[in-house]
Structure 1
Amino acid sequence: MGIFRSLLRQPTAVFGLVVVIVVVALALAAPLIAPFSPDEQMFDGLTLEGAPMPPGGPFLLGTDTLGRDLLSRMLFGARTSLIIGLVANGVAVAIGLFIGIVAGYLRGLAGNILMRFTDLMMAFPALLLAIVLAALLKPSLWIVAMVIALVNWVQVARIVYTETRGLVERDFIMAERSLGAGHGRILFLHILPHLVPTAIVWGTLGIATTVLLEATLSFLGIGVQPPEPSWGNIIFESQSYFQAAPWLVFFPGLVILLTALAFNLVGDALRDILDPTQRGRG
């Protein structure tokens, strides 16, 4: 509750929190509030010339190139994008925590091998590596989530490694070792709790990155495959109509921007609250 109260004292964090809550609520309630099925091609969803219907009337945000309601597709697309963001980032944080803790605690040859592997992964551009992996595998919701997780864990591992190296030299860890405490007790009862704030901060900040990366992969046509909607593939399907029907790109692009910004604002606020080295900095 103390963390929540601290968040409420920061206007930018409150804005981000409100946006996150609204987006999550709309995604969860999509089957109840969506005016149409996301895959339904309406007879009156296209003009006589076969162009998408503009916003207004029964179609609040207009229709897409196949006569499907854009609002309904964006609501269901929020579920897809958020699921990928949460799952991919959760797996990435778990992998980064594991490798960072093990490398920082063991040090020596094993630690060096793990961190050199981490450095090797960091040397590859994340987007390029994600494109290669997504192209090799058959794109689906869960495959895309795993691909994003496999390219996003390296930053967490590096941060956790550095913090773990500092923790293992602390007096209370030395005291536990002198009392005969095993590696499991030291790792899970004394080191891991100190890394929880770092995991929370990176977990929150990383959601914005994964949502953007999913949108990028879907925009390139190697993310979540139609007809399953996601914000990225809604833009991908409509890019050729950008000038004739700009709302098809503007509305999903706007929600991607707002969602990424909201998670970043909340993550930055949590970092200021949970990281003692950040407190007091203007």
Structure 2
Amino acid sequence: MKSKTKSTLWIGIVLVAILFAMMIISFVYLPHDVNEMNIQSRLQAPGDVHWFGTDNFGRDIFSRVMEASRTAFAVGLVSVAIGLTGGFVIGATAGYVGRWADETLMRIVDALLAFPGILLALILVTVFEPSLFQTMIAIGILSIPNFARVIRSGFLQFKQAEFVRAARGLGAGHGTLIFRHMMPHVISPVIVAASLSFSTAILVEAALSYLGLGVQPPDPSWGRMLNESQSYISKAPWFALAPGLFITLTVLGFNLLGDGIRDLRDQRA
């Protein structure tokens, strides 16, 4: 069991590290200009010049996939930050205060969870002008309930722990109890939730961009590239294969990373 856990964790780490390195490299080096069109080279098969081939406008697919990784990681980081911040405020308040605060806040969380995630994202994005910023805000709001429930559970578990009661008896204030004594014990499940939320954010962003409600052209996005490739599946399958493969690897990497951390935490518990 331990070897399986370590394998899952290390596969996730390796995949995420490779994709993160590709994203960092894209800031300093791209094989081709991502928006440079060459009609004579349109739908060119993978080769020495264009490793992943070209799209319907003759643009280099590998370069566009590399730059689109910036969007994926940006959406993941910002949405997780928004979800974690909102989830901490709601979850910590509900778990620490309890009583009416817990009931009221958790009913709000339940109401958010009652909506299918992608439907709520579509509503939030279509209310405003579709853009990367609106997409990140919408996905961040979607992730608040998951973080809130995880943090609330941790605070309920440790609120009456002996070390917390001892600190309270010694005169520790609410801030000290929350951030110094309770929050460190909640970090581990929060990291797992953040890893899984990161992969969900990438999937939702790809879905919204595929529908034309996320990243707007000419900026590249894996979901947008899938949308552009659907008319050329039989003629140029590599056009759809590249963005689809990177979406799969990124989501798989973060899911394996989260599963590995969770299993490792359960073994130590």
* TM-score (ref. length: structure 2): 0.93
Q: State the one-letter code of the partner of 1:34.
A: L
Distance in 2, Cα, partners of 1:236 & 1:190 = 49
Match of 1:189 in 2: 180
- Does the CA contact (< 8 Å) of 1:7 and 1:270 recur in 2? no
Match of 1:64 in 2: 55
Residues 35 and 7 (structure 1), Cα distance of their counterparts in 2 relative to 1, 3 Å cut: farther
Which residue among 23, 28, 35 is the counterpart of 1:39?
35
Of residues 61-70 and 90-99 in structure 1, the stretch that sits farther from structure 2 once superposed is 90-99
Match of 1:87 in 2: 78
- Higher relative helix content: 2
Residues 178 and 57 (structure 1), Cα distance of their counterparts in 2 relative to 1, 3 Å cut: closer
In the alignment, structure 1 residue 122 sits paired with structure 2 residue 118: no
Percentage identity across aligned positions? 38
- Unaligned stretches of 5+ in structure 2? none
- Does the CA contact (< 8 Å) of 2:39 and 2:57 recur in 1? no
SS state of the match for residue 267, structure 2?
coil
1:22-37 matches, cutoff 5 A: 22-37=18-33
- Deviation, structure 1 residue 142: 2.1
Distance in 2, Cα, partners of 1:163 & 1:155 = 13
- Does the CA contact (< 8 Å) of 1:7 and 1:269 recur in 2? no
- Deviation, structure 1 residue 233: 0.8
Residues 148 and 7 (structure 1), Cα distance of their counterparts in 2 relative to 1, 3 Å cut: farther
- Does the CA contact (< 8 Å) of 1:88 and 1:149 recur in 2? yes
Residues 53 and 125 (structure 1), Cα distance of their counterparts in 2 relative to 1, 3 Å cut: same
Which residue among 96, 103, 107 is the counterpart of 2:87?
96
SS state of the match for residue 279, structure 1?
helix
- Does the CA contact (< 8 Å) of 2:150 and 2:190 recur in 1? no
Distance in 2, Cα, partners of 1:64 & 1:7 = 42
Distance in 2, Cα, partners of 1:212 & 1:117 = 25
Q: State the one-letter code of the partner of 1:175.
A: A
Q: State the one-letter code of the partner of 1:187.
A: I
Structure 1 moving runs of 4+ over 4 Å: 6-9
Match of 2:64 in 1: 73
Which residue among 217, 221, 225 is the counterpart of 2:208?
217
Match of 1:260 in 2: 251
Cα RMSD, aligned residues only: 2.0
Match of 2:17 in 1: 21
SS state of the match for residue 40, structure 2?
coil
The C-alpha deviation readout for 1:173-202, integer Å capped at 9, x for no partner, is 222223332211111111111111122111
In the alignment, structure 1 residue 279 sits paired with structure 2 residue 267: yes
The C-alpha deviation readout for 1:220-253, integer Å capped at 9, x for no partner, is 1111111111111111122222222211111110
- Does the CA contact (< 8 Å) of 1:38 and 1:68 recur in 2? yes
* TM-score (ref. length: structure 1): 0.89
- Deviation, structure 1 residue 280: 7.4
- Does the CA contact (< 8 Å) of 1:208 and 1:264 recur in 2? yes
- Deviation, structure 1 residue 171: 2.1
SS state of the match for residue 35, structure 1?
coil
- Deviation, structure 1 residue 94: 2.2
SS state of the match for residue 74, structure 1?
helix
Q: State the one-letter code of the partner of 1:267.
A: G
- Does the CA contact (< 8 Å) of 1:100 and 1:160 recur in 2? yes
